[in-house]
Amino acid sequence: MFSINTIIVLSPHTDDGEIGAGGTIARFVEEGKEIYYVAFSSCEASVPKGFPEDVLKIECKKATSILGIKPENVILLEYEVRTFPLHRQEILDEMIALNRQIEPELVLVPSSNDIHQDHQVIYAEALRAFKKNASIWGYEHPWNNLTFTTDIFVKLEERHIKKKIKAIKQYESQNFRFYFDEKYIKALAYMRGTQVDYPFAETFELIRLLVR
C-alpha cells in the first residue's frame, strides 16, 4: 500500500522538519525516496548574539545533507519569523507552485494542533494547496501540541535516530533549546516505539490520505 516515492517536508523554520521527522526522513532517503525540504524562514530575527545572521541557513544545509537530502532539493525561503499570518496568500502561492513543480505524493507538515502562529499557517495553507494531490501527515512538536493524535507510526532503527541526532547537532546556534538535547530526542523515539513494539518510532497525525 505504501508506494509513495516523492515527498515534501514543509518546515516553517529551519530545523522544524528535522526535529519532527528527521528519523523518518533518514529512513525514506535510505529507501530511495525523493525528498524535498522547504523551510519558509531562517529566523534571522531570532539568531542568538555572536552568530552571523545567516547561520541557520548554513546549519540547515549541513543538517539536511546529513539526513541525505540532495542540496538541490533544499529550498530556503525568506519569510520573517512570527509574521506568517500576515503573508498567508504569498505562502499559499509558494505551495501551489511547489505542488505543480514537484507533484509530491506525501507532504509532511506541522500538526493541526500546533499552537505556534507560523506553524498554524503552514498547516492550513498546505491543506489548501495539496489536499487534492497528496497525502498529508502532521509531525509532532510536543511543546507546541496541546493534543496530538498518534495515527501513523514509522518504524525506525537506531541508525536512523543516530542520523537524526547528528543532523540536529549541526544547529550549534540552537543547542540551548531543551528539545535539541540528544537524550530527549532518543527518549521520545524510544517511547513512541514502545507503543507499537518497534525499536524506535516517529509518529504522525493523519491529515489526508490518498490511496491511488
Banded pLDDT at 212 (limits 50, 70, 90): confident
Q: Are strands 135-139 and 106-110 parallel, antiparallel or unpaired?
A: parallel
CATH superfamily of 6-208: LmbE-like (3.40.50.10320)
**Among 89, 91, 71, CA closest to 79:** 91
Task: Name the H helices within 68-157.
Answer: 88-102, 117-130
Give 174-194 pLDDT, tens digit per residue. 999 999 999 999 999 999 999
Question: Residue 3's pLDDT is what?
Answer: 87
Which among 163, 137, 159 is positioned nearest to 148, based on CA atoms?
137
Do 6 and 43 form a contact (C-beta atoms < 8 A)? no
Give the pLDDT band (50/70/90) at residue 163: very high
Question: For residues 176 and 179, what is the distance between their CA atoms, to the nearest angstrom?
Answer: 9
Residue extents of the structural domains in the chain: 6-208
The pTM of the whole model exceeds 0.95: yes
Q: Which residue reads 541526532 in cell numbers?
A: 165
Q: What is the mean pLDDT of residues 57-61?
A: 97
